[in-house]
Amino acid sequence: MSGQSDSPVPTSPSEVDGTSLSLLVRLKANDATAWDRLVVLYAPLIYYWCRKLYLPEQDAADVFQEVFQAVAAKITTFRKEQPGDTFRGWLRIITQNKVHDHFRRQGREPQAAGGTEASMRFMQVEALEALDTPEDQDDEERAYQQLIHRALELIRSEFTPRTWQAFWRVAVDGQRAVDVAEELDMRPGAIRVAKSRVLQRLRQELGELGE
């Protein structure tokens, strides 16, 4: 990896803070394509949360469905009311609640795996505390970075291969614009424009949902 004179691709929610709410607006308008994109972007992150909460893999599909049903029912009410409010935080709470509901239902069944309802609740509280440890926060940030890369793949076809290559080498690989310009026979200014165009489109795509 070369020099770091250019900023890397966003790796934290605060860095993806675009003014466009296009995806959010489309979700609120019940756009089927927007919902497909939301699932593609966030399903792996929801799966990560579910597994950290000890949800058995065979139960993930049911909980996934419940989470996205809740999001569909409540998306029109989502808004940032307090500093630090984020879509990711809102979605995480929904996921935690649905996992909790799942374990509570299991606790009422005679054949429920994992013991009594009390032990399930204890296990879940322990898991929720674990999600806030520095190590797990790092794991979640890596999962978020993967979300950003999935979003980039969704918009990649909108750019020429040369523009995309210029963006990727500078923003993702961390190479200097002057070095990439020499390799691609472009001006350094054109490299920076390519990077800016892709990042602007990324912010437009995600808007508040990327936070």
- Residue 73: per-residue pLDDT: 94
Q: Where are the domains of the chain?
A: 15-158
What mean pLDDT is reported for the chain?
79
| Structure tokens, 130 | 């674990």
* CATH annotation of 15-158: 1.10.1740.10
Q: What's the per-residue H, E or C state across 108-143? A: CCCCCCCCCHHHHHHHHHHHHHHCCCHHHHHHHHHH
Residue given tokens 């605060």 in the structure block = 14
Residue 68: pLDDT above 70?
yes
Q: What is the mean pLDDT of residues 10-36?
A: 65
* Dihedral sign of CA atoms 22, 24, 29, 31 in order: positive
Most confident of 22-31, 99-108, 174-183, 201-210: 174-183
pTM of the model: 0.69
- Residue 207: per-residue pLDDT: 72
Residue 88: pLDDT above 50?
yes
Q: Pick the range with the lowest mean pLDDT from 23-27, 61-65, 95-99, 109-113.
A: 109-113
Residue 16: pLDDT above 50?
no
